[in-house]
Structure 1
Amino acid sequence: MAVYTDVPTEALASFLAGYDIGELLSYKGIAEGVENSNFLVHTSTGHFILTLYEKRVAVGDVPFFLALMEHLHARGITCPQPVAARNGGTLGTLCGRPAAIVTFLDGMWMRRPDAGHCAAVGEALARMHLAGSDFPGKRRNALSVEGWRPLFEQAQDRADSVQPGLRATIADELGFLEKSWPRGLPAGVIHADLFPDNVFFLGDKLSGLIDFYFACTDTLAYDVAICLNAWCFEPDHSYNITKGQNLLGAYIKTRALSDAELAALPVLARGAALRFLLTRLVDWLNVPAGALVQPKNPLEYFRKLRFHQKAASVRDYGIAERVRV
């Protein structure tokens, strides 16, 4: 979440007039995240989230995201729900941007997740994968291995200004992953961005998943690898094997990982680290002037990548190659 587009009060009030959600009382921008403009909107009937779609989100993809949230909710996954306007549509236009309103999800995200939180995320991710197995929509992952070289080309000339030698490191890793990327593994709908700030808790109980705007059709185990990167490293960028064991163990109890998926996990984790290194690097080098946004340090994922490059097998992530459930 972030704010790139300023929304005047009069424009928002006019937009909300097309919905049956009451009168505008207040609203504020949400600075966390880096992709879309997001606002917490308070009306006379409650709280909602307004999203203006920017940057990497194609307008034609938004109906996929909204339909997916409705589908997952119908199958027991707690996530925000699109709010329909009086005309029946869930996608409108505000300040020249595609815009949608979704319900507000109660809870807070964990700044310092522990092993128990990681287990809850592993189970929730597996449940989401199973719930999405019959979702009819398809969306190509534009930020999978085929999309990484164009990102690198955007950033390579200035990469060494962030850290000396970064350009060569990324070039070498990209070449390895393009040759070694696993194919033919079980695929389906993945979240693709299930970071701690996209998972809400009430106390120690997971209360819901948010921000499905990178969701796509891709390898399910790749989604697991993204979560290992996002949840199982400490602030000093060391891998916490107990957190990894909890996340993977809880996932496998709900949806078993095949031997092929387990064997591919180190390479998938390398790919996930490179994906976020690249997108963060591009954003770090290209923050729009005046945007209310907090760009994230790409070097966090450079350090995580170094760990994955040394991993010999899934044992380095906390579980054995063969897991019986």
Structure 2
Amino acid sequence: MAVYTRVERGELENLVGALSLGELVSFEGVADGLENTTYFLRTRKFGGPVGVSDEWVLTVLESADYTGIPFVVTLAAFLKTAGLPVPDFVADRHGCRQLSVAGKPALLAPRMAGQHLEQVLPKHCAEIGAFLGRMHRRGKAFAGRRENPYGLSWSRQVLVELSPVLPSADVELVRGQQGGQAALQALAGSVHALPAGAIHADLFRDNALFLGDKLSAVIDFQGACTDWLLLDVAIALNDWASRPDGEVDAARALPLLEAYAAHRPFSHSEYDAWQAVCCIAAQQFWLSRLATRQRQPLELTGRPSKDPAQFRRILLHRINRVPDLPR
């Protein structure tokens, strides 16, 4: 979530009217996040009581590649039907959930109950692990496919872009991880292949809402794609169970992994690849943040960009050690 595209009130009023949501009461840009523009909207049904309103989250997609939107909305609908706490995107009168705002694709969903956590405890990490385990287990029946937009080819392209400004040691560090990623991809179709399916691909703390100690919603599915299930676990672990210096906090990591395994046990190939996949996950977000800072998009709320060095530290620690997967 962030604000890169300014949307005028008149356009939002037209959108709300076209979707038969009543009248627009207010709207505000949201500073959190990295890539897309987000607004909170409040609407009121025509003739409804004063002070009673509905709340919505509008996401304006800033990526140049919009081909993954059908996958995102179809996956979210599938998971919602399966009973998971995910967004329910609004469809227009033609049944299309891909909307248009400021000349860009957009998604609108009811604002889900809950708050972001100020302090992450082991019990919260267990909630995240359980969600991912349920999502991956039930996702076996999901037929949609989308190549990971932040996969190996993206990583190689970004490294070419960043090489002139990166220290040579960092360039070699990334190339080494890319080699490991290519080796794992080469196993596809063999008995050693990693289990793959629909993944969230961005289950960070700012994409989860809690009511008390219970997970109430997982949001921001715009990066969802088809990739190794283990990558989803590693991405979550690197954010939810890392100390500021990048080292793993075992007290938070173990509940996450155990809760996941209770819903979907890990395979033999996943035990073998766990450390490499943790490193790939860390590298992906290091490069993503570096690229965002290098490109310097105009973020309209004035909030600072996220620190790439955080995931460099995480990568260096994962190269040395990762927590054991439960057996």
TM-score by length of 1: 0.91
> What's 2:165 paired with?
158
Q: How big is the shift at 1:318? A: 4.2
- Aligned AA (2:18): G
Give the whole-Å Cα distance in 2 for the aligned partners of 1:72 and 1:281: 32
Within 5 Å, which residues of 2 pair with 1:99-178? Answer: 99-160=106-167, 165-178=169-182
AA in 1 matched with 2:6: D
**Separation of aligned partners in 2, 1:296 and 1:112:** 19
Answer yes or no: is the 8 Å Cα contact 1:126–1:255 preserved in 2.
Answer: yes
**Contact 1:16–1:24, Cα closer than 8 Å, also in 2:** yes
Partners of 1:224 and 1:186 in 2: how far apart?
A: 12
Choose from 309, 315, 322 the match for 2:319.
309
Please list every run of 5 or more consecutive structure 1 residues that lacks an aligned counterpart in the other structure: none
Post-superposition offset of 1:290: 4.9
CA distance in 2, matches of 1:231, 1:156: 29
Counterpart in the other structure of 1:224: 233
Match of 2:85 in 1: 78
Match of 2:258 in 1: 249
Partner of 1:284: 293
| Cα distance, 1:31 vs structure 2 | 1.0
1:300 maps to which residue?
A: 310
CA distance in 1, matches of 2:139, 2:35: 24
Distance in 2 of aligned mates of 1:259 and 1:243: 23
CA contact (8 A) 2:76 2:86 kept: yes
- What does residue 49 of structure 1 align with? 57
- 1:91 to partner: Cα distance: 1.6
Q: CA deviation at 1:178?
A: 3.2
- Check whether the contact 2:240–2:252 (CA below 8 A) recurs between aligned residues: yes
Distance 1:300 1:274 in 2: 11
Quote the offset at 1:147 in angstroms: 2.3
For the residues of structure 2 that align with 1:173 and 1:130, how far apart are their CA atoms? 28
Aligned partner letter, 2:294: L
- Residue 159 of structure 1, CA deviation: 2.1
* Aligned twin of 1:37: 37
- How many pairs are equivalent? 313
Counterpart-to-counterpart distance in 1, 2:23 and 2:271: 51
Q: Which residue pairs with 2:27 in the alignment?
A: 27
| Matched letter for residue 213 of structure 1 | Q
User: Once the two structures are superposed, what CA deviation does each residue of 1:39-79 show, in whole Å capped at 9, x if it has no partner?
Assistant: 000111400011111125x2221121111111100001011
1:98-151: per-residue Cα shift (whole Å, max 9, x none)?
112111111012232111111110011101112221112110112122321111
Conservation of the 8 A alpha-carbon contact between 1:159 and 1:281? no
Query: Which amino acid letter does the alignment assign opposite residue 266 of structure 1?
Result: Q
Matched, 1:89 2:96: yes
The unaligned stretches of length 5 or more in structure 2 are 45-52
Q: Deviations over 1:157-182 (max 9, x none)?
A: 1124xxx8433433343344434556
RMSD (Å), alpha carbons: 1.7
What's the CA shift for 1:86? 2.9
Of the candidates 167, 190, 207, which is equivalent to residue 199 of structure 2? Answer: 190
After TM superposition, give the deviation of residue 87 of structure 1 in Å.
3.4
Match of 1:48, SS? strand
Amino acid aligned to 1:54? E
- Secondary structure at the aligned position of 1:5 is classed as coil
CA distance in 1, matches of 2:7, 2:141: 37
What is the letter of the counterpart of residue 119 of structure 2? R
Tell me the distance in 2 between the aligned counterparts of 1:198 and 1:290: 19
Q: Matched residue of 1:174: which SS?
A: helix
Name 2:48's counterpart in structure 1: none
CA deviations 1:237-286 (Å, max 9, x no partner) are 22101211111111001111112112211000000011111111101111
